[in-house]
Amino acid sequence: MKILIVKTSAIGDVIHTLPALNALRGKFPQARIDWLVEEAASDAVIGHRAVDKVLVSQRKRWVKDLKQGRILSAYRGFRDFVRELRATEYDLLIDFQGLLKSGIFVGLARAKRKVGFGRGMEHAECSYLFLNERIPPVAMDQHAVLRELQLLAAIGVESPEMVFAFPVADLQREELARLLEEAGVDIAQPLVAINPMTTWKTKHWYDERFAAVADRLAALGYAVVFSGGPGDVAAIEQIRLAMREKAVNFAGKTSLKGLAALYERAALLITTDTGPMHLAAAVGTPVVALFGPTAPWRTGPFGSQHVVLRRELSCSPCLKKNCERNRECMDEITVEMVLAAVHELLKKGSANG
């Protein structure tokens, strides 16, 4: 049996689909399971023990080539990818993405059964038109992980346990150990990770508050390591420079798997609502998550070991990238609230450890 999972992006959304992948592998242990994913999120799938082949779409590169006039390059890249996609006829294709960009690939793929949610799902962009088996829509006001599993349950694939099994190898753990040693972090020192940056300005907290939280934790003897992407280096450095105590800036220094190794090593992660939050949850690290305009019951850190800080306001969750109320939902999350949540999780971790 040949199965194709279509979940192209983003990093957090791809991570949310890992339990569905493992449920499929449990149901069909001898099947060939392939995954179609975009390049930016591919590290979440490449090397996963339940995946046989990863088809990496370079959609953003093709679009960039088109915008810059490299039409032939874009055409050849897309053509070669479609040839690779169509080289296999699948018995079952499951569209977990449910967007137009994924629907195009669903339509181009060769598969006997093309399964996904039918008309009525929020933000579906008519992706159901490319399916030949349309599952009735489910409620959006539940976690994305559960929605994915409900799609599988509708075709007879149950998930008796929740398994992410994010692919982290010893190579990434060894590289992390080298980075920590170079940064002067003792191997025996307890570590707290902080991921302060997001792509939405409405999700941002405040630099000075992150610095205050980091100072308090460093004063207690924790190694404080900030994480982020290459574009976050300067912003995180400003937070670090605002501190009195020592902290480490690892923004741009790790791959996605390297970041997973860092979170594995951490006692907990403090973060806004962003992809790394889901990564930490997937590797079993407790999370203190700061939520404002988004809905944690839909896209919060999955699991009972986390603490979500959110203020109940009439306008929240607005799901907007721009705010007319001066980000009141984030402003009402205080340093003391974050520290109380951190101490709660650290105390729980000590009791369980």
Q: What is the mean pLDDT of residues 69-94?
A: 97
What span, in angstroms and rounded, lies between the C-alpha atoms of 104 and 127? 8
Residue 268 contacts by C-beta under 8 Å, 6 or more apart in sequence?
A: 192, 193, 285, 286, 287, 288, 342, 345, 346, 349
What CATH number is associated with residue 34? 3.40.50.2000
- In this structure, how many other beta carbons lie within 10 angstroms of the beta carbon of residue 221? 8
Q: Is the pLDDT of residue 349 over 80?
A: no
Same domain, 181 and 35: no
Predicted confidence at residue 122, as pLDDT, reads 82
Domain edge (last residue) among 99, 125, 153 = 153
The three-state secondary structure class of 177 is helix
Domain edge (last residue) among 153, 181, 206 = 153
151-161, pLDDT tens digit by residue? 999 999 998 88
Q: Is the pLDDT of residue 353 over 60?
A: no
Q: Tell me if 162 is assigned to some domain.
A: no
Domain total for the chain? 2
Residue 87: which pLDDT band, with cuts at 50, 70 and 90?
very high
Of 123, 125, 55, which Cα lies nearest the Cα of 93? 55
Predicted confidence at residue 123, as pLDDT, reads 81
The mean pLDDT of the chain is 95
Between the CA of residue 252 and those of 123, 174, 249, 303, what are the distances in Å? 32, 17, 9, 28
Q: Tell me if 77 is assigned to some domain.
A: yes
Same domain, 284 and 254: yes
Same domain, 67 and 36: yes
Which residue segment(s) compose the domain that 325 sits in?
Answer: 170-352
pTM above 0.85, yes or no: yes
Two tokens at 219? 């004063």
Q: What is the mean pLDDT of residues 143-158?
A: 96
Q: What is the mean pLDDT of residues 318-343?
A: 93
Two tokens at 304? 């009972």
What span, in angstroms and rounded, lies between the C-alpha atoms of 107 and 101? 10
Same domain, 95 and 23: yes
Q: What is the mean pLDDT of residues 248-263?
A: 96
Q: Tell me if 330 is assigned to some domain.
A: yes
Q: Tell me if 160 is assigned to some domain.
A: no
Same domain, 39 and 76: yes
Same domain, 109 and 49: yes
Q: Is the pLDDT of residue 170 over 80?
A: yes
